[in-house]
Amino acid sequence: MKSEGRRIAMLTAYDYPMACLLDESGVEIILVGDSLGMVVLGYDTTAQVTMEEMLHHAKAVRRGVTRALLVGDMPFLSFHGSTAEAVKNAGRFIQEAGCDAVKIEWKSGIEDVVHAIVAAGIPVMGHVGLTPQTAHLEGGFRLRGKDAASAVRIIAQAVALQEVGCFAVVLECIPDVVAQEITRRLAIPAIGIGAGPSCDGQVLVVSDLLGIFERFKPKFAKRYADFAGLARQAVASYVQEVRSGVFPGNEQTFTMDPAEFAKLKAEFGSAA
Ligand code: KIV
């Protein structure tokens, strides 16, 4: 798609119904992001998410995806021990959850780990710029690559990930011109989130796009719908109808054959 100048649409999903919807809607890549820790599990950070939680959700998403490329996000500490352990954890996304690829956030020395995972036959998507698992070490959830020196480092990281075999790289929260430069330099697709319009594709957290997650809204996220508002309205109507006796109505009620009911009455008398 990059060579044809066609932009790639990528979104996160964390469960089966959303996976079905996104797959039907035509997104090219579905990511089971570790953002699930914050937007689904209610944790304060993504660093709390475990391998077991990621696999549980990735398996559910797999059942709903028949068309898009499915990527599992390597959670914090799943690739920080030995390289062998990182390969084993990446392999679990493929063997146990049925993912097509894994995503891995940049950290120093990650090149050897990525190289080993790719050598094992597992496609890897890199992630540079703002890397949420370690954001607290670098001043929190803020723009990265603001000054020339840090922009040079991020560009070098993206190039290094391509060199060790990544098939794509996520660029998170960096100035548009830095993303443009990375996109131009890379032969592999650069997928932006808060990285401006020049990237080869875009990714958003689906809960931000649909207005499901309301605790905070990153500047780079665009809300295309107000699912939380719709859900509140629907639940308030249900509560009101239960209280007033409107629900369940005839449509939601099962009836009994009158002849059978007559027999029942005969058995138990008029109390039945
Ligand atoms: O975990 C996630 O959802 C991500 C995307 C924001 C790229 O890493």
Chain segment 175-194, per-residue pLDDT in tens: 999 999 999 999 999 999 99
Rounded Cα distance, 109 and 138, in Å: 17
Rounded to an integer, the average pLDDT of 252-262 is 97
Query: Given pLDDT bands bounded at 50, 70 and 90, which one contains residue 32?
Result: very high
Ligand 1, atom 5, residue with closest C-alpha? 33
**Does 73 contact ligand 1 (Cβ within 6 A)?**
yes
* Known catalytic residue at 163: no
Q: Is the confidence at residue 46, as pLDDT, over 90?
A: yes
In the chain, ranges of CATH 3.20.20.60 domains: 8-225
Tell me, in angstroms, the distance from the centre of ligand 1 to residue 265's CA: 62
Out of 46, 69, 203, mutate this one to test ligand 1's pocket (max ligand atoms within 8 Å of CB): namely 203
Rounded Cα distance, 48 and 206, in Å: 20
Rounded to an integer, the average pLDDT of 13-38 is 98
**Does 35 contact ligand 1 (Cβ within 6 A)?**
yes
Query: What percent of the chain is modeled with pLDDT above 70?
Result: 99
pLDDT in tens, 69-127: 999 999 999 999 999 999 999 999 999 999 999 999 999 999 999 999 999 999 999 99
pLDDT in tens, 119-165: 999 999 999 999 999 998 888 899 999 999 999 999 999 999 999 99
Tell me, in angstroms, the distance from the centre of ligand 1 to residue 34's CA: 6
Which CA distances in Å does 42 have to 150, 183, 213, 229? Answer: 32, 34, 10, 19
Out of 172, 174, 213, mutate this one to test ligand 1's pocket (max ligand atoms within 8 Å of CB): namely 172
Rounded to an integer, the average pLDDT of 25-48 is 97
Dmax (CA) for the chain in angstroms is 90
Amino acid 269: pLDDT = 78
Tell me, in angstroms, the distance from the centre of ligand 1 to residue 233's CA: 29
Tell me, in angstroms, the distance from the centre of ligand 1 to residue 65's CA: 18
Q: Residue 132 CA: which ligand 1 atom is closest? A: 8
Amino acid 56: pLDDT = 98
Ligand 1, atom 3, residue with closest C-alpha? 33
Amino acid 58: pLDDT = 99
Amino acid 31: pLDDT = 99
**Does 12 contact ligand 1 (Cβ within 6 A)?**
yes
Q: Is the confidence at residue 271, as pLDDT, over 90?
A: no
Q: Residue 105 CA: which ligand 1 atom is closest? A: 8
**Does 135 contact ligand 1 (Cβ within 6 A)?**
no
**Active-site residue, from 28, 172, 214, 267:** 172
Amino acid 270: pLDDT = 63
Amino acid 29: pLDDT = 98
In contact, 137 and 117? CB cutoff 8 Å = no
**Degrees, nearest 5: CA angle 241-17-97:** 145
pTM of the model: 0.95
- CA 84, distance to chain mean position in Å, is 26
Which option is the CATH number for 8-225: 3.20.20.60, 3.40.190.10, 3.30.70.20, 3.10.180.10?
3.20.20.60
Q: Is the confidence at residue 201, as pLDDT, over 70?
A: yes
